[in-house]
Amino acid sequence: MEYKALLICFILSVIITPIVKKLAIKIGATDKPDARKVHKVLMPRLGGLAIFISFFVGFIFFFPESKYALPIIIGAGIIILTGVLDDLIELSPKLKLGGQLLAALVVVLGGVQVDFINLPFGGTIEFGLLSIPITIIWIIAITNAINLIDGLDGLAAGVSAIALLTISGMAITMGNIFVVFMGFMMLGSTLGFLIYNFYPAKIFMGDTGSLFLGFMIGVLSLLGFKNVTLFSFIIPVIILGVPISDTIFAIVRRTIQRKPLSAPDKSHLHHCLINLGYTHPETVLMIYAMSALFSLAAVIFSQTTLFGASFVILFLIIMIELIVEMTGLIGKEYRPILNLIKDYRTKR
């Protein structure tokens, strides 16, 4: 039944996306090229509306039973409204954040909270009242991480699809049917849209899509791994390693440069790879590969021993550091490990 949900949402998305494209052009929801953007022609956005409609129809048709279902749908509706308004009239950062905060609050009040974490050597950390802000921060952080990575054709949709596939697959092993259903419906809707969004894109998802995908991934990752051990709580962080890392280093970069955190720039991972000479589709496929590697690491992490889990974390930290240095994600002069390697080779 879960696979039928994926297939139906995929077909719906394939059918609905061209209709949304025509609507976007008609109402003026288009993305104009500028110095910060990669595309050179006027592009219809609002594509996220097709993802949402496909998912929503699938939700109504299959209606996975859970106490979390209604709060998630209401929260998603708020996020979609925020994204649509931003794609039409470009909301201020404060209004966009306000919409995200309201959507996250609806979900949290609906019962989606990280209440406690079991420590690996015994004992439990009870969050108490802190569970509400912690959960809200997580949802908003992931929402914005996907939003920030949406800079190339098919990039956010592909990275989100990989994350959704991993979350859904791990939910199957845990017997979490609700997350499996919701994840598969989101996956089908996203893949159907990706047909039109991969390079060269015929339509952009806009903030409607990136905010919706980020919100749903943030919520589903919490439902899939909430109230578990400390190490298991790290799993969604690993799965979303690429957008989370890109967001963290954007914050670091803007802090160093003394720019507002909301200030746009052309120094995200995809920009850096293109500056190194990779083509548009090569850059997207490389980031897909990185996302798949993080997802594979998350699966291994969930099945291994404490020693193995520690090794996976160490490997990922080293890999992230090398990617940061090779791409100049923080700055072209930041190359501590690469300089050490260079000095070592020179001395030999």
Are 114 and 232 spatial neighbours (Cβ–Cβ below 8 Å)? no
At residue 63, the pLDDT reads 85
Domains of the chain by residue range:
2-347
More confident: 243 or 115:
243
**Digit-coded pLDDT (tens) for 108-138:** 999 888 777 766 555 677 778 888 998 999 9
At residue 35, the pLDDT reads 56
**Digit-coded pLDDT (tens) for 6-62:** 999 999 999 999 999 999 999 988 887 665 555 567 889 899 999 999 999 999 998
Mean per-residue pLDDT for 248-252?
A: 86
Mean per-residue pLDDT for 302-314?
A: 86
Q: Give the chain's mean pLDDT.
A: 88
**Digit-coded pLDDT (tens) for 137-183:** 999 999 999 998 988 999 999 999 999 999 999 999 888 899 999 99
